[in-house]
A and B are shown apart, each in its own frame.
Chain A
């Protein structure tokens, strides 16, 4: 039985509420991961295009924090630093307690009305109740019948409110993000950015961020096709040009235009805006690869990993959540030194199969091959599609249920599929290494995979039109192999910063990509490019939907 006891002061409760409120705008569930010195909250949006990780430091955020892992879960696997960073294995720190809760059930518990000076003044003005402290404790029973997370609010006048919250077992999802590839960075005061973001209307879908000579352009746009009679319902298109001087720091290579969801960005910025004077830092590589937005204050560390796209790339427009699925995960194992392609971030979902046998020392992550560039040349083989579709159809599966073979996400672009399966990695020690291990040997012979292509590739028009194409035999093999690959691949926190190892295959892939790179660059025809790319982000199933939406 793990022991977890947290004491929070009223301000921290309010902060926690703001954090949960922000997460609730992305996903329905929040995953709690208790470690020795910190509590991690994570959520993933339904399209896997955004991953939120908020870390509450045990010593600075909480008045008191005590976590003792379940002794029965210890041992066996190697343990990593308590900071959880960059261990080669995917598995989290030994014995961490992980559970999943509905974020909407948590919101009312912590609703920010407990402090005299509410964090979010606009909302809570004149709505102050007092609490003196909040205690959160875990009651985990071996028989698993009475497990509850208990939140006690000690109010003034001796009133105590107690919430007994149910939780579910969960796997940890992590976003991998290669910081060393994210050469584009900027920093700006959150309060200021929040004010600018208020100019954007409610229905617009995407936000393009483009650096110009002395300014940065934030432009919203919508890709939904609107026919003549509905033309007036076209969302307001807003463009804001800010001088670089407004940024505390701005280093972005010219011609790097990325787009993210306006709604996501606004949610992030408005959360950051609740902190005083906090600086938002953004880092990204190029369109089609993840962007990471971070800020921290008072022991709360917020990290948002968002998939980016290139304007013109089509997503499932009808759904409104057009973003490519989470490319969030990268292989940790890959070394940054990819040579030519140092910048790419690969999003690799990690899959773990709980059912499979013994714990392997390595992390299983499905590694996407070298991250393919968004260039059309990179288009993945059509075969990828089937895999992707499979993944998509599955709602975020409980990790235990994931079938091993399907779960292996091919690194390819199609991989969104993987996303669902892969994202939810199970950190449980039970991961079987065997799946992963096999792949290594085989890989050498395989054609380089374009792991990132899952998201990026879209070159295949056929793919777009018809959804998943029947996978070639090769694909099947690859997929199988991929599972094996899991061993090699170390997924998860790119941020961890552990040294990366590059597998031979990956190197191969990178080389291939590098070769292709020039072609990509050479292309001047943006439109053509974008069109091609557009297909890539959408998963096969989504694409079908899109098609339907357009013509219906």
Chain B
């Protein structure tokens, strides 16, 4: 089992791991010939986060080999990984590489960062060894991306700094284990509602963009229903509703804030799926997909 690569876009990798470390402490890192996936599963099974990075977007000289079809599955501590990547965030950073190794009997992802010292401009090398656990293929065999129906509503979320400020207040109001209701339609309207014993609040955004479902690559849905792409005016005005845990929604918003472009799918009474495009161009090279299941009212 071998994995070795140099990192050409460490800030992108750092952004992705930073966002994922908001979601959970441990993630499953899947490496194969074509892409890198990081999967974070919530303990309560209410949400899953799938992050997908194309190799060319981040790595150079990517070499992988393993007995199971050049696939390596690792369990990684996300905050440690993120912290170690921060070592590269200096002005004097010159290059970085990563490889799978074993030290003191603990498998580690070894990150080598070369920088220049500020005074003398001489190279200095920082090595960060992140402990990982190697997972057998059968251990991760059950991990499959959630399947969602074609969403009734697809909407680009409002300005994220604004959304975050408002969300934080909602979370405080509804308290722990509170519910937040999201409603949206294809006329560019999104509502956020909190309804607790003590307080009832509602915010509404209008004029949001409604991207066509699937206009971006990598978006997947269960198309068995063969819905028509052309919705009637009536259908467009219909609101689809999801109810999510307030803490979870706060996390979603924080992850969104790290992205360049964010599309939310509201699958009526079923699930909230948030696509976060992390790349500077908002392209598909690095995405985080946040699946949250909706509570039934």
Contacts and interface: CB of A to CB of B under 8 A. Distances in A.
A231 B117 contact: no
Contact of A199 (B77, B80, B87, B120): B87
Contacts of B122: 243, 245-246
A238 interface: yes
B127 A192 contact: no
B133 A232 contact: yes
A192 B90 CA distance: 13
Q: What range describes how many residues of A lie at the interface?
A: 20 to 34
A233 interface: yes
Contact of B133 (A196, A231, A238): A231
B114 to A, nearest CB: 10
Contact of A246 (B80, B124, B126): B124
Contacts of B124: 196, 240-243, 246
Nearest to A236: B80
Given A192-B118, A240-B125, A243-B120, A232 B131 contact: yes
Contacts of A196: 124
A188 to B, nearest CB: 10
Contact of B126 (A192, A233, A240): A240
Residue of B26, B118, B128 most packed against chain A (CB within 10 A): B128
A237 B131 CA distance: 8
A256 to B, nearest CB: 21
Interface residues of B, number: 27
Contacts of B118: 192, 195
A231 B129 CA distance: 13
B117 A236 contact: no
Given A192-B118, A201-B83, A246-B117, A236 B132 contact: no
Nearest to B107: A231
Given A231-B106, A232-B75, A237 B129 contact: yes
A120 interface: no
Where chain A touches its partner, the secondary structure class is mixed
A195 B90 CA distance: 10
Contacts of A201: 80, 83-84
Interface in A241-288: 241-243, 245-246
Contacts of B83: 201, 236
Contacts of A233: 77, 131
Contact of A238 (B120, B127, B132): B127
Contacts of B76: 232
B108 interface: yes
Contacts of A239: 125-129
Interface in B73-88: 75-77, 80, 83-84, 87
A199 B128 contact: yes
A9 interface: no
Contacts of A199: 87, 126, 128
B123 interface: yes
B84 A241 contact: no
Interface of A: 189, 192, 195-196, 199, 201, 226, 231-243, 245-246
Q: Which 6 A-B pairs have the closest CB atoms?
A: A234-B131, A237-B129, A239-B127, A241-B125, A232-B77, A243-B122
Given A195-B118, A233-B77, 14 more contacts: A192-B118, A192-B119, A199-B126, A201-B84, A226-B106, A231-B106, A232-B75, A232-B132, A236-B128, A240-B124, A242-B124, A243-B122, A243-B124, A246-B120
13 contacts: A192-B118, A195-B118, A201-B80, A201-B84, A236-B84, A237-B128, A238-B126, A241-B127, A242-B124, A243-B117, A243-B123, A245-B120, A246-B124
